Amino acid sequence: MEPLQLKQAFKEIFDTEPMLVKSPGRINIIGEHTDYNGGLVMPAAINKAVYVAISKREDSKIHLFSESYQEKYIGNINDVKKSDKAWANYILGVVDGFLKRNLSVAGFNLYIYGDVPLGAGLSSSAAIECATAFALAQLNELSVASMDLALIAQKAEHEFAGVNCGIMDQFASVFGKENYAMMLDCRSLAHEYIPLKLDGYKLVLLNTNVKHSLSDSAYNDRRAQCEQGVAWVKAYHPAVEFLRDVSEEMLLTHVQPKNNETYTKCSFVVAEIERVKKAAKALKEGDLKALGHLMFETHEGLSKAYEVSCKELDFLVDQVKGLDDVLGARMMGGGFGGCTINIVKDEAIEGLIETVSKAYQEQFGLSLSAYVVQTGNGSQTIEPTGIVSTLQHSNF
Ligand code: ADP
Ligand code: MG
């Protein structure tokens, strides 16, 4: 849907002029399962987004309409509560976050549309939250720092969607910048824009279209193992707060003798945080080959050591490993399904998607979805004719 159509669709339902906002989905180049360990991640916003058309109402009501679900929700600013419509909750959670911060919000009409595939690990949920947060701030002329918008969005995901996520997704959706990835320190929230020059190559996502139910329990289990590792090290090094502060030597001395399994899990995280730093260096030097190599290493670690991959993800990575046209590939996201992210030579993309889709279908009887993604800018207002104003961040 073009912005002009979005505006038209809004006017047909609400019979008034809207303001238009967009907020993108995201990929993560490298740095998996490092966020909850106070570590580093390297997300980038993509050219798929959630679009919101919004206008103020005279009353205190909240009128929402979802294009994807063809559903309406009606609520009230004075009584914001969870709904049984999952899509509405992401929006309501953000409204609640504004009110809890004493940021006064008027009643509003909101139409939502998006082209971020749902549940594919591209964080369509963060895109909705951030689009809503940005739209509410603009509509009510509230000056809220960009990081606070991301934090309000994250809180909405915790409290209204029940997903205890880190800050990466919302951060990337708000702060993204075309042609850049961002190295984010999940502890201090300090971040650095890293040029993502892919000359002759593109990022290709291959979606397994599976989500194994193991995902939630394994996630909790891994978090517990990381915390256990930290506790054992902390007994000897009191300043240690997260695995971020721990070295491989400390793990060998204090964790491995106690429990080899816990050691293996913690060791993956410690190595992964180092890989993010190496990846930033590789990108700054324009060394895509080195970046690709690190991505393969990450996959190996997630699959063999951290054990959060699955046969479908492993199959997709194995299919492209060793091909000259693919510099790197790995599973992306928490695991047990979702997409792999691949760096593929331009001319080879079409053929690769065809070959791998066929092999995947033969192996699992499942169809593969493929997305060629480009980086994009973060939350911004748009005009029906195009983009007029992007968010101005103080640090660039
Ligand atoms: P992910 O964030 O990986 O895409 P989630 O399960 O966290 O997956 O979020 C997906 C949910 O977000 C959907 O089930 C839906 O409720 C909501 N959602 C995402 N995009 C849209 C959209 N364009 N319109 C309405 N709801 C959406
Ligand atoms: Mg999500």
Which residue has the least CA distance to atom 7 on ligand 1?
125
Mean pLDDT, to the nearest integer, of 340-346? 98
What span, in angstroms and rounded, lies between the C-alpha atoms of 148 and 167?
11
Atom 25 (ligand 1) nearest CA: 87
198 Cα: distance to centroid of ligand 2 (angstroms) = 27
List the one residue out of 140, 129, 132 whose CA is nearest residue 107: 140
What is the band of 387 on the pLDDT scale with cuts at 50, 70, 90?
low
What is the pLDDT at residue 21?
Answer: 98
Rounded Cα gap, residues 225 and 117, in angstroms: 32
- Using most ligand atoms within 8 A of CB, pick from 46, 70, 125 the residue to mutate for ligand 1: 125
The first and second tokens of residue 332, run together, are 């992306």
Local confidence band at 395 (pLDDT 50, 70, 90 cut-offs): very low
Overall average pLDDT of the 270-288 stretch: 98
| 39 touches ligand 1 (CB under 6 Å) | no
Q: Residue 390: which pLDDT band, with cuts at 50, 70 and 90?
A: low
Q: How far apart, in whole angstroms, are the C-alpha atoms of residue 374 and residue 380?
A: 17
DSSP state string for 254-270: HTTTT-HHHHHHHHHHH
pTM (2 d.p.): 0.94
Structure-token pair, residue 200: 């002759």
Mean pLDDT of the chain: 95
Kindly provide the residue ranges of all beta strands, DSSP E only, lying in the chain, ordered along the sequence: 19-28, 40-41, 43-56, 61-66, 71-76, 108-114, 180-185, 191-195, 201-211, 326-331, 337-345, 369-373, 380-383, 386-390
Coil/strand/helix, residue 388: strand
Q: Quick one: average pLDDT of 320-342?
A: 96
Crossing angle, helix 86-100 and helix 146-160, to 10 degrees? 130
Which of 50, 87, 111, 216, when mutated, tests ligand 1's pocket best, judged by the most ligand atoms within 8 Å of its CB?
87
**Closest ligand 1 atom to the C-alpha of 118?**
4
Band of pLDDT at residue 214, cut at 50, 70 and 90: confident
**Which residue is closest in CA terms to ligand 1's atom 26?**
87
- Whether 267 lines ligand 1, by a CB cut-off of 6 Å, is no
% of residues, the chain, pLDDT over 70: 97
Task: State in Å: Cα 43 to ligand 2 middle.
Answer: 14
In this predicted model, what pLDDT tens digit does every residue of 224-246 receive, in sequence order? 999 999 999 999 999 999 999 99
Check 35, 96, 169, 245 and give the catalytic one. 169
pLDDT at 164: 84
Ligand 1 pocket, residue 123 CB under 6 Å: yes
What is the C-alpha to C-alpha distance for residues 380 and 352, in angstroms, rounded to an integer? 34
Distance, CA 67 to ligand 2 centroid (Å)?
Answer: 19
Query: Which of 298, 396, 303, 388 lies closest to 343, judged by CA?
Result: 298
Rounded to a whole number of angstroms, the CA Rg of the chain reads 21
301 and 272 Cβ atoms separated by less than 8 Å: yes
Q: What is the pLDDT of residue 385?
A: 66
132 Cβ below 6 A of ligand 1 = no
Distance CA 161, CA 7 (A): 28
- The pLDDT, as a whole number, for residue 31 is 98
pLDDT tens digit string along 16-72? 999 999 999 999 999 999 999 999 999 999 999 999 999 999 999 999 999 999 999
In the reported structure, the alpha carbon of residue 111 is separated from the centroid of ligand 1 by a whole-number distance in angstroms of: 15
Ligand 1 atom with minimal separation from the 114 CA: 23
pLDDT above 90 covers what percent of the chain?
91
Residue nearest ligand 1's atom 16 by CA? 87
Q: Is 287 a catalytic site residue? A: no
Residue type, 207: N
What is the distance between the alpha carbons of residues 303 and 175, in angstroms, rounded to a whole number?
A: 30
> What is the CA(58)–ligand 2 centre distance, in A?
33
| pLDDT for the residue numbered 17 | 96
Q: Is 298 in the pocket of ligand 1 (CB under 6 A)?
A: no
Atom of ligand 1 nearest to the CA of 89: 16
Name the closest-CA residue to atom 15, ligand 1: 87
Question: Rounded to the nearest whole angstrom, what is the distance from the C-alpha of residue 354 to the centroid of ligand 1?
Answer: 28
From the CA of 118, the nearest ligand is 1
Mutate to test the pocket of ligand 1, among 70, 116, 124, 163 (most ligand atoms within 8 A of CB): 124
Tally Cβ neighbours within 10 Å of residue 254.
21
With a 6 Å cutoff on the Cβ, whether 164 touches ligand 1 is no
Residues 98, 100, 101, 106, CA torsion sign: positive
Query: Cα(338) to centroid of ligand 2, in Å?
Result: 11
- Please give the number of the atom of ligand 1 that sits closest to the Cα of 333: 3
User: CA-to-CA distance for 8 and 16, rounded, in angstroms?
Assistant: 10
Nearest residue CA, atom 19 of ligand 1?
Answer: 124
φ and ψ at residue 92, rounded to 5 degrees: -65, -35
